[in-house]
């Protein structure tokens, strides 16, 4: 029997934000999204797993009643730790990791971001299903436009991933990517540098030389330092990976072009602030810099009402 669970959702849950994040690729092979359902394929220790989320009751009917009904459909029996990983992935893809209230309390009356915070109640950070997915997506998206990055991601999934019995593709794990070679990626429009960075990251993780799990012996700063030591991975990639992978609440996205673009009209200036100045501005919002970036990103796009 497939594990089923119900996740309570906050009364101000912004369903359309979550759906929009997962439907970025209109030709998606690893996600299927409609107004009442989200289905995502992942691999857990090599087992193809479909996370099937019924969102029909995600909109509040009465206070405390919004929920997501979830099924974990695996192509083989899952152990208890593997079921826990599936549960963690569900929390990630539904944006239930970072509680937005501490930032709202912190910045509601802020001269620069207060109006954004008040205009976007309930804004949350939606994550990738796993840390490895978040990091590889960050590498794929380095220094290219979003539409090209999405196309590369689709190719990457089909090259390294596997299909669930339902037909949906599952995002690859490190061992699957490590089995590729650079030519397989460059033949599909990956730059040589991007291909080599993806393979280096995957091989270090697959070999155990790079541990992505947080534990009593390894905190977020140690993971960040280990990632920065890899050729081709810089501060933006690390911070974006921490945000989308761990749901870390204090990522500084000062290198993000969209963050800088969103700050420009708030500052009333004719050009985007440079990275150094953006870093100084975002430092005001520590230890909530992740939510500051999320509100800046959201300000660039009108909200679709649920």
Q: pLDDT digit string (tens) for 257-305?
A: 999 999 999 999 999 999 999 999 999 999 999 999 999 999 998 665 4
pLDDT on residue 203: 98
Q: Please check the confidence at residue 114 and state whether its pLDDT lies above 60.
A: yes
| 57 domain residue, yes or no | yes
22: in domain:
yes
Name the residue among 176, 159, 202 with its Cα closest to residue 46.
176
Number of domains in the chain: 1
Please say whether the beta carbons of 168 and 30 come within 8 A. yes
In angstroms, rounded to a whole number, what is the distance separating the alpha carbons of residues 94 and 76? Answer: 24
- What domain range includes position 42? 7-93
Kindly report, residue by residue over 165-195, the tens digit of the pLDDT: 999 999 999 999 999 999 999 999 999 999 9
- Share of residues in the chain with pLDDT > 70 (%): 98
Q: Tell me how far apart the alpha carbons of residues 170 and 16 are, in angstroms, rounded to a whole number.
A: 23
* pLDDT at res. 306: 43
Residue 165 lies in a domain: no
CA distance 300 to 203: 37
Whether residue 158 lies inside any domain: the answer is no
pTM for the structure as a whole: 0.94
**In this predicted model, what pLDDT tens digit does every residue of 50-82 receive, in sequence order?**
999 999 999 767 788 899 999 999 999 999 999
Distance, CA of 283 to CA of 93 (rounded, Å): 27
The structure tokens listed for 37 are 């359902």
Confidence at residue 60, expressed as pLDDT on a 0 to 100 scale: 67
Q: Where are the beta strands (DSSP E) in 55-110?
A: 67-74
Q: Which letter, b or e, does each residue of 272-296 get, where b requires 16 or more Cβ atoms within 10 Å of its Cβ?
A: bbebeebbebbeebeebbbbbbbbb
3-state DSSP assignment of residue 209: coil
């Amino acid at each position: 029997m497939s594990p089923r669970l119900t996740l309570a959702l906050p009364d101000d849950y912004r369903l359309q934000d979550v759906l929009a994040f997962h439907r970025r690729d209109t030709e998606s092979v690893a996600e299927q999204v409609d107004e009442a359902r989200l289905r995502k394929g992942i691999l857990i220790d090599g087992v193809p797993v479909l996370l099937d989320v019924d969102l029909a009751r995600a909109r509040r009917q009465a206070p405390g009643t919004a929920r997501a009904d979830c099924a974990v459909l695996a192509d083989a029996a899952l152990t208890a730790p593997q079921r826990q990983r599936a549960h963690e992935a569900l929390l990630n893809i539904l944006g239930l990791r970072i509680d937005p209230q501490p930032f709202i309390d912190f910045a509601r009356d802020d001269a620069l971001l207060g109006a954004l915070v008040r205009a976007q109640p309930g804004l949350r950070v939606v994550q990738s299903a796993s840390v490895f997915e978040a990091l590889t997506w960050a590498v794929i998206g380095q220094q290219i436009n979003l539409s090209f990055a999405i196309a590369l991601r689709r190719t990457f999934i089909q090259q390294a991933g596997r299909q669930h019995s339902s037909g949906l593709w599952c995002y690859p794990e490190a061992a699957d990517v490590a089995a590729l070679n650079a030519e397989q990626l460059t033949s599909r429009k990956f730059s040589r540098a991007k291909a080599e960075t993806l393979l280096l990251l995957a091989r270090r993780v697959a070999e155990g030389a790079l541990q992505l799990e947080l534990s009593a012996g390894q905190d977020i700063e140690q993971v960040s330092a280990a990632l920065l030591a890899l050729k081709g991975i810089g501060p933006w990639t690390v911070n974006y990976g921490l945000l989308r992978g761990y749901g870390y609440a204090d990522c500084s996205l000062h290198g993000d072009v969209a963050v800088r673009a969103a700050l420009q009209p708030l500052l009333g200036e004719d050009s985007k602030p440079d990275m150094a100045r953006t870093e100084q501005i975002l430092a005001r919002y520590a230890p909530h810099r992740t939510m500051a970036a999320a509100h800046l990103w959201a300000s660039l796009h009108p909200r679709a009402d649920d």
